[in-house]
Structure 1
Amino acid sequence: MRFLRDNGLTIALLLAFFASMTGMAYSGWGHENHELTRHHLPAIGFVAYITSENFFSALFENWESEWLQMATYVVLTAYLFQRGSSESHDPDDNSTGSTDKEPPPRSHSWIYEHSLGLALGLLFVLSFLGHFFASHSAYNSDAAAHGETVQSALAYLGNARFWFESFQNWQSEFFSTATLIVFSIFLRYRGSPESKPVEAPDNQTGN
């Protein structure tokens, strides 16, 4: 039981992830078959749907925005400030963040010192590519079904549909992160490391 206690946060989030993934798969399958029926096409099975370009396009489209949000957040909070927010370094404290004058330990390489941002950035790039290729395949399948001209991968890179799919998620991630940063100035949640102490003044920066 100690394992569950020590890893409860990750376990709870992974369970929520798998539950949401299941809901996405089954509801997406139902929606896909509804659209096929509207176009007088035969319905597809569940396995066929979760291995289709439409499913992977939607999946990577969302993952892409999440990794972008987290990578950007990790990098920006190392250099920029928001006075009063629990999500920011104190701009007047020269012992933290990018103002740290102490040289890094020689045993730590530049890659290791920036590994969190690099890992999240890499996951964003991989998800972006997964979204692009799946969305491109889905677009061409839809175009072929309607007797329209298919596009090359290079041409699809300038397609409004692909960028709409990306930007509609990116904007929400950046806005929600900015909201969290500002809300943490004035609002509290007792016991959460993402919140300042309940008694802390609004102008206190950091936890």
Structure 2
Amino acid sequence: MSFLRDHGLSITLTILTAATIAGMIFAGAHAFNQEAIMHGEATVTVADYLFTGHFLSALFENWESEFLQMAAYVCLTAFLYQRGSAESKDPDALQDEVDEDAFKKKDDPKAPWPVRQGPLIRTLYSYSLGIVLAGLFVLSFVFHLRASAAAANIEAMRHGEPPVGLWTRLADAEFWFECFQNWQSEFLSTLLLVLLSIFLRFRGSPESKPVAAPLSATGK
């Protein structure tokens, strides 16, 4: 039971992720086959649908925007402030000494392995969260582009048009519409979280200031 208590958040989020992806697969396959029937084309099985541009484009389009949001959030909150927000460091406080001390703990056996290595590895580790999230955004963007091109080629075939290549799809306004329609919502939701955490509370959440904290108090 202690394992479930200690890891309940990640376990629950994993289950929710798997459940919603499954829902996306079955709903998407149904919609894809309806469109195929309308054009007199053969339908596909759920297993085959997993490899279509229709599914992969939608999947990576959303992953791409989420990784962009998280990477931007992690990096921007390291340097920028919002007074009173639970999502910001205190603009009046001195620079966090905990991370500064990490570079002085290279001989501490309890410190993570990268901290006990040379300056290069230690520096890379100190920014590893932002680096990995940015890398996942780039990978998702590339996979989205490839899958979006595949989906566009299906539509082109249905209308008797020539297929499009990756570079042609990259320059296509429709592809960038797919990107921006998700990116704007991610930045908006982050902005609202930052601002609403100044005035609103949720007891017990680390993303909220204490209920009795003044509006001017910064959460982190």
TM-score range, shorter chain: over 0.9
Aligned length: 205
Superposed displacement of residue 104, structure 1: 5.6
Matched residue type, 2:103: P
Structure 2 CA distance for aligned equivalents of residues 117 and 79 of structure 1: 13
Question: In structure 2, the residue corresponding to 1:191 is in which secondary structure?
Answer: coil
User: CA contact under 8 A between 1:89 and 1:96: conserved in structure 2?
Assistant: no
Question: In structure 2, the residue corresponding to 1:121 is in which secondary structure?
Answer: helix
- In structure 2, the residue matched to 1:164 is 177
**Per-residue displacement from partner, 1:13-63 (whole Å, max 9, x unpaired)?**
011101101110011111111111222222221111112121111100000
Question: In structure 2, the residue corresponding to 1:180 is in which secondary structure?
Answer: helix
Superposed displacement of residue 94, structure 1: 1.4
- In structure 1, the residue matched to 2:17 is 17
Runs of 4+ in 1 over 6 A off after TM superposition: none
Matched residue type, 2:81: F
- In structure 1, the residue matched to 2:119 is none
Q: Percent identity?
A: 50
Question: In structure 2, the residue corresponding to 1:78 is in which secondary structure?
Answer: helix
Matched residue type, 2:29: W
Question: In structure 2, the residue corresponding to 1:185 is in which secondary structure?
Answer: helix
Question: In structure 2, the residue corresponding to 1:147 is in which secondary structure?
Answer: coil
- In structure 2, the residue matched to 1:125 is 138
Once the two structures are superposed, the pairs formed by residues 105-144 of structure 1 within 5 Å of their partners are: 105=103, 107=106, 108=115, 109-144=122-157
**Per-residue displacement from partner, 1:108-163 (whole Å, max 9, x unpaired)?**
42100000000101111111111011111111222122211222211211011211
Q: TM-score, normalised by structure 1?
A: 0.94
Superposed displacement of residue 179, structure 1: 0.3
User: CA contact under 8 A between 1:95 and 1:101: conserved in structure 2?
Assistant: no
Matched residue type, 1:70: M
User: CA contact under 8 A between 2:71 and 2:134: conserved in structure 1?
Assistant: yes
- In structure 2, the residue matched to 1:35 is 35
Matched residue type, 2:84: G
CA 35–203 in structure 1, closer or farther in 2 if over 3 Å, else same: same
Which runs of 5 or more residues in structure 1 are unaligned? none
Structure 2 CA distance for aligned equivalents of residues 57 and 127 of structure 1: 10
- The reply to whether residue 181 of structure 1 matches residue 194 of structure 2 is yes
Question: In structure 1, the residue corresponding to 2:78 is in which secondary structure?
Answer: coil
Q: TM-score, normalised by structure 2?
A: 0.88
